[in-house]
Structure 1
């Protein structure tokens, strides 16, 4: 199944405009170390229960993110092109690594 993708720049614009929600499918320790502001944690290791537990707004795009894009691709393939309420689902190309490389803000744990 093909998975829709979105660039970090376009995803950032959607998030800033309030048009999308961001789902982080990395593990809790990875999320704690570095995350994109507003990302909702739903670890791949806890799927599909973690996805089913999400309260996703029906009127927003869903962007799925991991470190580089592999795990989020798996989740997008599992969920399909649209979520339960018909929201379009996108894999964030390059994950949080590409987001950070593009100069977009990342929240790091205080060491």
Structure 2
């Protein structure tokens, strides 16, 4: 019988799997690459405009939310393609809904960005 690994070892492995997943997402998905570049640009803008701690928190949350939802969307699309590789109306609806979640998160992230930066630019 194999020795059961400790809670700590399992957590370290879980973090490793999560890091691998995040790296795969950044390496393979063009949409997340665009979002990553935008995240770098707004981070640079945050330093340039010296945004407040609250604004940093909102900006970081918006970035994390959009990129996290994009990861979930990618996982849903990949799973749907694996389960049903040929076109299927129901799979198409599922993929559209997942993409819609990314769209909603992105729109609200843009609104947050506008609220933060419009007063600083004008």
TM-score bucket of the superposed structures, by smaller chain: under 0.3
TM-score (norm 2): 0.22
Name the structure with the higher helix share.
2
Higher RCO structure, 1 or 2 (CA under 8 Å, sep 6+): 1
Higher Cα Rg, which structure: 2
Name the structure with the higher strand share.
1
